[in-house]
Every structure is written in C-alpha cells, then in structure tokens.
Amino acid sequence: MKKRIFEGCATAIITPMHEDGSVNEQAFMDLVEQQIKGGIDALVVCGTTGESAVLTHEEHTRVIEIAIKQAAGRVPIIAGTGSNDTAYAVRLSNEAVALGADALLMVTPYYNKTSQAGLIAHYNYIADRVDAPIIVYNVPSRTGVNIKPETYLELSKHPNIVAAKEANGDISSVLKTISLCGDNLTIYSGNDDQTVPMMALGAKGVISVISNILPGEFHNLTKACLDGDFKTATEMSVKYSDLMDYMFIDVNPVPVKEAMNLMGMKMGDCRLPLAPLNEKNRETLAEELAKHGLI
C-alpha cells in the first residue's frame, strides 16, 4: 500500500488579498495558523479555491513558501501545481518540492480537452520528473475532461501517483475506481456534500471548501467517518447541508471568501474575472451564517 498523505479533512485554503488586489501575506499566515489550531488535517495551497489561475508565477510560489514556513511541519502542505501545459506543471511542481511541499495537487489539463491516453501520458510524464507524491484532481465541470476509472487504474501503477481528489459527482464511478485501484490509489472527496457517502465507500477524507470557515467541524465529521460512526457524520452533514450549498451560490471561491469577510476575517475580494457577490446573495449568505452562529 502506498503511504497516505493525510486522512480526514484538508482545507483548500483561500488566498487573502489587499484592497489593491495584491496578496495579503500576513492575513494568509494568520489563516494558516487559524486552520492548524482549528484541527485541520492538511492544507491545500494554490488550488481552485486559492485562485491559482490568477496568481503570477512569483505569487504562486511565494504563497506555497509562506504556507510551508508557517505550518512548520505540523500538517502536510499540498501545493496546487497543475497546468494544461505539461512542461510548466513539471517546472512549478519541482519548485514547490524544493520549497518543501509535502505533496502536489495536479488538476487535469483544462481547455486542451485531452483524451484518456493523453491524461495517462501527461500524469506519467510529470510523475517521472517530480520526486513527490501526486494527488490527481478530477473536476470536469471546470476542465471539460473527466478521468475514467480504467484511467485511474493505469495512473495508480506509478509509484508517485498516490491519490485522487474526485469532484465529478458520480458516486458509481467512485465505487468502480475504488474497486479497480484498491490501496494503490487513495480517494478524497472533492465535494463537501459528498464527503459522507464517498467515505462510506472507502474514500479517506475530503479536500474541502467549507472548512475554510469550519475547520474543526469538518475535521470531526471526517474523523467520525474514519471511526465508522456514520450516524454522527451524517447528522453533521445534514446540519451544514444548506451552508455547503451556499458556498456555491456563486462561483467558488467568491462565496467562501465573502463568508470569511462577513465573519470579520478581512480576506478581501477575488481577483477579476470573478466579481463580488450581488447584494441579494450576500444577504442570503449572511442569514445562513447567522443561523449557525458564525456572525
């Protein structure tokens, strides 16, 4: 069995911004500290929720560096280094590893819409050239390409490809992937609202958006699943089901960043082309946060 990067809940952490749109490094350090003290099991830096698509190369590596230094080995730091340019993914991945990243999150190539054979070639090419464990990230709603279970089986044969963040929403596909790959590929839910059913099938945790605001609660939810207490985990999932939905009342990470602002964290706005929440959605989100005693 391949060594697991983490079990439980990893936060896909946001990237705070100043009013002028620059990265707020101090706020990011504080947020990393808050997450660790909140009980989170790992942190994913510069993923979708971290606005990796609009960070410059220098900002991208700097944010990874800050997270690694602030965490100081207390939790694994997983760096988002995927790209639709295979050569650039290799470059960025090796820079993240040199900075001390514990693992890499590697989204499927977007826009190019490669074939399953192309996916296998892309990931194996990177894994051959990077000395770090890789989590494959499947999110077809954003990338236009879906990884099939049989493709996961081929990828799982590489020693550096150890896990998958699965966000295709297809539970049957997850079951087939787990059946085919067994212990050669750890599965993490990529959707907060599917954490419990996926862990019931054998997934080992979630890479979460909502844990930006509820790190302790979602650590506890995943721990309950790992302990086999699916009754408690289900009750917690039901309790936060509406709030999970509201995290996607607009394009991620717009709602979660606004939620954190409403909670007094001062995380700033998202960079363009993502626009702030409209007033109606902002009021709706505030009402839901208040319902849970978060504001």
Task: State the catalytic residues.
Answer: 137, 165
Signed CA dihedral, 86, 88, 92, 97: sign only:
positive
Instruction: Please give the helix or strand (H or E) that residue 166 lies within, else none.
Output: strand 161-166
Taking the C-alpha atoms of 179, 229, 168 and 77 in order, what is their torsion angle to the nearest 10 degrees? -100
Q: Are 12 and 105 in contact (CB under 8 A)?
A: no
Beta bridge mates, 107: 137
* 206: three-class secondary structure by DSSP: strand
Q: How far apart are CA 77 and CA 204, in angstroms?
A: 17
Query: Distance between the two ends of the chain, CA-based, in angstroms?
Result: 44
- CA nearest to 125, candidates 92, 82, 163, 90: 90
Q: Are 61 and 23 in contact (CB under 8 A)?
A: no
Q: How far apart are CA 140 and CA 154, in angstroms?
A: 19
* 189: three-class secondary structure by DSSP: strand
220 Cβ contact list (under 8 Å, min separation 6): 39, 236
Q: How far apart are CA 175 and CA 27, in angstroms?
A: 39
* 162: three-class secondary structure by DSSP: strand
Q: Beta strand 42-45 with 77-80: parallel, antiparallel or unpaired?
A: parallel
Q: How far apart are CA 279 and CA 249, in angstroms?
A: 12
